[in-house]
Structure 1
């Protein structure tokens, strides 16, 4: 079993903005500004014993996973293993 450490969240009012960007560069920029790791999750990541599993229900461009994984690593995760349930596009 793996414990649920927390959730990477969107800053208030930014989810629609990040999802509505039309090109890759705009989307990455919007995601960097929108996604956040709360302090409680950062603390759990620093004390985790090994890599964490990053789960996303749907991947279109892959940028959300890439940006979220980078944030998790910067917050203290030893490693990030992404899992996508469905791929679109």
Structure 2
């Protein structure tokens, strides 16, 4: 599964698809941004504001929540970039609430 990428959606999607194929596991879907939140500015300087903004923006669609609950094990979460780790933390929390037994993040790049 992936976190919706605003900058590199094809890269994240194709990597996740290939990992699923090689690992013989289902590609469950994408943690998405809520409607209208694509253009919303999320603070990059204040952690509390960033977490609040991400909680308001990230969603687990109903079909994905059902697939996660039925998966019966941990899920792999692929993202293109991590600068603070909050996107992965919030997405992981949402997936755990949807029924994932665990979430293993895979990030292509880390920006310090």
Is the shorter-chain TM-score for this pair beyond 0.5, marking a shared fold? Answer: yes
Could you say what the CA RMSD is over the residues aligned between the two structures, in angstroms? 1.2
Cα pair 2:72 2:100 within 8 Å, conserved: no
- Give unmatched runs, 5+ long, in structure 2: 1-23
Mapped partners of 1:14, 1:26: distance in 2: 15
Mapped partners of 1:15, 1:59: distance in 2: 18
Aligned length: 88
Task: State the Cα deviation string for residues 50-79 of structure 1 (Å, max 9, x = none).
Answer: 100011110000000000000000011111
Mapped partners of 2:35, 2:66: distance in 1: 22
The structure that is strand-richer by fraction is: 2
Mapped partners of 2:40, 2:48: distance in 1: 13
TM-score of the pair, normalised by structure 1: 0.92
Mapped partners of 2:39, 2:87: distance in 1: 13
Residue 14 of structure 1: CA displacement? 1.3
TM-score of the pair, normalised by structure 2: 0.74
Cα pair 2:74 2:101 within 8 Å, conserved: yes
Task: Identify the match of residue 89 of structure 2 among 63, 66, 69.
Answer: 66
Structure 1 equivalent of residue 103 of structure 2? 80
